[in-house]
Amino acid sequence: MVENVTTRDPADLPLPPASPSTLGWSLGVLLREWSDRVEKVSRDLPHGVRGYQVLAAVVHDAPPTQASLAARLGIDRTVMTYLLDKFVQCGLLERRQDPVDRRARRIVPTDQGRRVLADLDAAVAGAEDELLSGLAPGERRVLLALLEHAASGTAPDEDRCAAVARTIGPPRHA
Amino acid sequence: MVENVTTRDPADLPLPPASPSTLGWSLGVLLREWSDRVEKVSRDLPHGVRGYQVLAAVVHDAPPTQASLAARLGIDRTVMTYLLDKFVQCGLLERRQDPVDRRARRIVPTDQGRRVLADLDAAVAGAEDELLSGLAPGERRVLLALLEHAASGTAPDEDRCAAVARTIGPPRHA
DNA sequence: CCAATATAGTCTGTCAGGCAGATTATCTCG
DNA sequence: CGAGATAATCTGCCTGACAGACTATATTGG
């Protein structure tokens, strides 16, 4: 009997040599599921999930420029152009010339944009809650923290925005 | 001269109701980053990252049928058809008629397929390691465990296949 | 045992969406 | 001031996803 099975200790991890790619698979499944749910919720928005992500990024993170917004979301510049076109057209966002660099546009939300996003955020929060229903509240918090930490570590530019935000105001439930 | 600098008040732009969508964003960033890295590693494979995922799923999870394989990876069945065509053509996988249900095909890896995957798995493991370099080893393990748990909770069908497979032992060549 | 319906996989055609490359306006630096 | 870089936009092509039809087999009810 070949005993390359080193299961002598319960603290031993159960999947040592096996598939390394649980990570990729898990991320894929979760993101797909997240997208599906958020899609349902954002059906009215110009571009579904992506629209939500754009709007959320603009309002919550206020990236200085269109390009940085695109980079943050991993979207091509040329794509970002027509995504924003639609939002402007719908009166949810505005393009303003950056006074200091007239090549750049500052993307700012309209009041309606803010309102719409607030509603969506609530709905999305619900969806996420449901998505993670298999995890205990503590586990969820840990997962979110680790995910964000990992993502921030690899993200192209943000990082300190998020870090600061987290330091100043951690998610407090009122 | 119109200086609408409305951003001087620190209390003006807080992140009042903590953005719920860190989840979506984090997942997106990480998956994108994972894909990029794995893409580099899987450049020789028929369909890049996706090819890797297919091959890994076939070998590690041995889904009974083509359809279930597709479902597991969130790929359309018509797409799965031509993905597999390529793999068969390259001699990495084989389609065999399921003896019990002759409509179905059992997808089995060739020896070469296994070998190729083994190499890739090693490389991917390295890439993942690098990807999560911002996290301490303990944190990584926790993250992976939680991710997998969450994903399994929402995954369409697998769950018990994977669970059973893991419990019984890694796929010993049948 | 036959007919009807369901399911696994494949094939075909269509179409949106993404990306490369050119274009315009502006900035920066020598 | 001219040369090169950068933000955003515009144009056109082309891949790749999905819908729907089709074949082969399974299942079920009469």
Q: What is the pLDDT of residues A45-56, one digit of tens each?
A: 999 999 999 999
Residue A28 resides in a domain: no
**Beta-carbon-side half-sphere exposure of residue A60 (alpha carbons within 13 Å):** 25
- Asked whether residue A102's C-beta has any atom of DNA/RNA strand D within 7 A, the reply is no
Domain that includes residue A67, residue range? 43-131
pLDDT at A155: 53
When divided into structural domains, chain A yields a total of: 1
Q: What is the pLDDT of residues A107-152, one digit of tens each?
A: 999 999 999 999 999 999 999 999 999 999 999 999 999 999 999 8
Q: Please, which contacts does A97-105 make with residues 24 or more away whose CB atoms are closer than 8 Å?
A: A98/A64, A98/A65, A104/A64, A104/A65, A104/A66, A104/A67, A105/A65, A105/A66
User: Which single residue has its CA nearest the C1' atom of nucleotide C27?
Assistant: A101
How far B23 CA sits from the closest chain A CA (Å)?
A: 6
- Asked whether residue A78's C-beta has any atom of DNA/RNA strand C within 7 A, the reply is yes
Nucleotides of C under 7 A from a protein CB: 7-12, 17-21, 25-28
Q: What is the pLDDT of residues B137-172, one digit of tens each?
A: 999 999 999 999 999 877 544 433 343 333 333 443
Residue B161 resides in a domain: no
Residue A139 resides in a domain: no
Residue B60 resides in a domain: yes
Place of tokens 């997808």: B107
How far B69 CA sits from the closest chain A CA (Å)?
A: 12
Residue B146 resides in a domain: no
User: Domain of B55: which CATH number?
Assistant: 1.10.10.10
